């Protein structure tokens, strides 16, 4: 009867070690996720601040340039140049919008965490087979 008891004790110890390792892996992945969330938050905040600065100063520059061109060419045809500038500004806005949607489409959030979880799943599947 001792071999059965020893075998049961070994199974219990192995299960305990497996559970401890699994919890350690889960804790490490949670820490990685937390770090990535913090990095993404900081990156997003930085991007928003930069975008607001670009928008504000771009708007000021555009208004000043438009006023200068209209004043300079007032004698010829102010309406024609206002329409031309409107078309140019509209084309620039569409171009920037397309670039923004393209960059948001390729944005990968939590890529390191997801990759590590895929590796863990593959490793566990390999062990359990």
Please write the tens of the pLDDT for every residue from 1-21: 456 667 767 777 777 788 788
Residue segments in the chain with a per-residue pLDDT below the cut of 70: 1-5, 8, 110, 129
Put simply, whether the predicted model's pTM sits higher than 0.85 gets the answer no
> C-alpha distances in angstroms, 107 versus 64, 79, 111, 115?
35, 42, 10, 15
């Amino acid at each position: 009867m001792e071999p059965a008891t020893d075998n049961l004790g070994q199974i219990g110890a192995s299960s305990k070690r497996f559970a401890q390792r699994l919890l350690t892996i889960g804790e490490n992945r949670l820490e990685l996720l937390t770090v990535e969330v913090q990095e993404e938050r900081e990156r997003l905040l930085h991007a928003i601040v930069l975008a607001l600065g670009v928008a504000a100063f771009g708007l000021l520059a555009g208004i000043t340039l438009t006023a200068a061109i209209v004043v300079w060419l007032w004698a010829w045809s102010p309406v024609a140049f206002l329409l031309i500038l409107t078309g140019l500004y509209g084309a620039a806005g569409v171009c920037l919008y397309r670039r923004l949607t393209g960059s948001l489409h390729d944005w990968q959030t939590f890529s390191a965490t997801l990759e590590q979880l895929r590796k863990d799943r593959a490793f566990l599947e390999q062990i359990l087979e």
